[in-house]
């Protein structure tokens, strides 16, 4: 049976039970009123007969046989007409009978009014504000995507039906970015910007997508979009972060310091992002550059001092990912292999966004990899942005769902702590996520 039909049936049954429970006393009262009416009529008839009898016996002696016979006949008739012994009702009983009679006349309308009050307003409210379609398997499947890939596919279908949903295009763009599909992300953000041209966040997201599509270079349209976003919202965090990164790439540390100080003022003081930006500011104020990006054109300012510009080797990680033979039977060759570089906090735990992400097929294991700024997810989180004493870790994961987040059953492993620029990083996939 369709769950939606079953839901409606249960709601109707519940409403019927409630109405019967509430209306039953009123129905019983109406029946009692009708019985009271019958008794009142019978009493009225007997009173009239008694008056007639008393008139007829007025001239007869008290001890005459005719008088005794008439009284006995009246008593017998009274016992036959009334189910209970006849007692003349007093004034209180008469008022009760009259009240019952009136209630009996009013109860049909009262019952209908109460039933409508119990059913109609709650049903109307549930229809307007409730979610009766939540029981539909189709609706549930749309709201419970099994993976990021499925979420993106479902979102695209919804946007085909409702292409004017700004938030839908924004979510699609961010999801495509998480999957590493930069052209698709850029197209989604373009649609969102066309629908909401004054939205600063959409401008910054589009700038980020364009920059990643051209090798993490912010020059050109990306920085133009970032500046437009800051003109609309001077406290937009991502715009401030990327604007600072651009100024560093142009050899303008003063401009980067101004943007990043403004960013620190809007970030939570205890967040990893605030700690990262504070580190960048400390490097800039000490005359060091936190980014490897050099000038984007020959006419730009000269590059920073040699110690501030790490070499390409120091901005990359090279190594090999291997699968533990004990997990070979659980490997799906068509699953997605993620190789991710993560920075570590003071306690040696991965923190902040990924510095570089490489996607491959599980069938390619064992895999020789190289991670550098070309696989960066954001210009603000790159291997080349780390300070000289930074420590990183490479994490490998095999995901059947191709989801960016860890799922139960994923195969995973991690390297030991290494420094940026390491060339012999070993990652052994030897555990199963629970």
What's the CA gap between 84 and 431, in Å, rounded?
Answer: 89
> In this predicted structure, which of 83-87, 277-281, 393-397 has the lowest mean pLDDT?
83-87
What's the CA gap between 156 and 161, in Å, rounded?
Answer: 9
Q: Are 353 and 280 in contact (CB under 8 A)?
A: no
Q: What is the fold, at CATH topology level, of the domain defined by 144-285?
A: 1.25.40
Per the model's pLDDT, the better-predicted residue between 76 and 7 turns out to be: 76
Res 308: pLDDT: 33
What's the CA gap between 360 and 323, in Å, rounded?
Answer: 14
Res 385: pLDDT: 77
pLDDT > 70 fraction of the chain, expressed in percent and rounded: 65
- CATH code of domain 313-432: 2.60.40.2990
Q: How confident is residue 310, by pLDDT bands cut at 50, 70 and 90?
A: very low
Q: How confident is residue 88, by pLDDT bands cut at 50, 70 and 90?
A: very low
Phi, psi of 90 (to 5 degrees): -85, -175
Res 312: pLDDT: 43
Q: Kindly tell me if the per-residue pLDDT of 26 is higher than 70.
A: no
Q: Where are the domains of the chain?
A: 3-133, 144-285, 313-432
Q: What is the mean pLDDT of the chain?
A: 75
- pLDDT tens sequence across 361-395: 998 999 999 998 888 766 667 788 787 778 899 99
């Amino acid at each position: 049976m369709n769950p939606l039909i079953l839901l409606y049936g249960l709601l109707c049954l519940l409403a019927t039970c409630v109405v019967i429970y509430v209306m039953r006393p009123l129905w019983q009262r109406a029946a009692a009123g009708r019985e009271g009416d019958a008794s009142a009529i019978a009493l009225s008839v007997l009173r009239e007969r008694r008056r007639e009898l008393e008139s007829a016996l007025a001239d007869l002696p008290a001890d005459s046989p005719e008088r005794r016979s008439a009284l006995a006949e009246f008593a017998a008739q009274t016992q036959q007409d009334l189910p209970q012994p006849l007692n003349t009702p007093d004034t209180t009983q008469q008022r009760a009978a009259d009240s019952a009679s009136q209630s009996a006349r009013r109860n049909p309308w009262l019952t209908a009014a109460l039933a409508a009050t119990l059913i109609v307003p709650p049903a109307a409210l549930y229809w307007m504000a409730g979610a009766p379609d939540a029981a539909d398997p189709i609706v549930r499947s749309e709201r419970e995507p099994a993976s990021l890939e499925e979420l993106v596919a479902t979102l695209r279908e919804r946007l085909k039906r409702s292409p004017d949903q700004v938030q839908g295009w924004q979510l699609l763009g961010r999801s495509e970015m998480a999957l590493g599909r930069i052209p698709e992300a850029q197209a989604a953000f373009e649609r969102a910007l066309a629908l909401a041209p004054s939205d600063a966040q959409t401008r910054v997201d589009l700038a980020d997508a364009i920059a990643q599509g051209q090798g993490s270079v912010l020059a050109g349209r990306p920085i133009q979009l970032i500046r437009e976003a800051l003109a609309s919202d001077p406290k937009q965090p991502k715009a401030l972060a990327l604007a600072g990164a651009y100024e560093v790439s142009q050899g303008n540390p003063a401009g980067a310091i101004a943007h990043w100080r403004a960013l620190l003022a809007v970030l939570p003081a205890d967040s990893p992002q605030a700690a990262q930006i504070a580190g960048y500011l400390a490097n800039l104020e000490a005359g060091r550059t936190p980014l490897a990006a050099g000038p984007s054109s020959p006419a730009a300012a000269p590059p920073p001092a040699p110690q501030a510009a790490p070499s390409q080797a120091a901005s990359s990680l090279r190594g090999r990912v291997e699968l533990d033979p004990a997990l070979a039977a659980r490997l799906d060759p068509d699953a997605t292999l993620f190789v991710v570089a993560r920075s570590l906090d003071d306690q040696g735990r991965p923190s902040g966004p990924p510095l570089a992400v490489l996607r491959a097929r599980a069938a390619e294991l064992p895999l020789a990899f190289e991670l550098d700024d070309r696989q960066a997810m954001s210009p603000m989180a790159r291997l080349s942005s780390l300070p000289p004493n930074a420590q990183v870790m490479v994490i490998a994961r095999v995901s059947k769902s191709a989801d960016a987040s860890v799922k139960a059953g994923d195969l995973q492993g991690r390297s030991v702590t290494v420094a940026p620029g390491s060339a012999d990083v070993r990652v052994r996939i030897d555990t199963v996520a629970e």
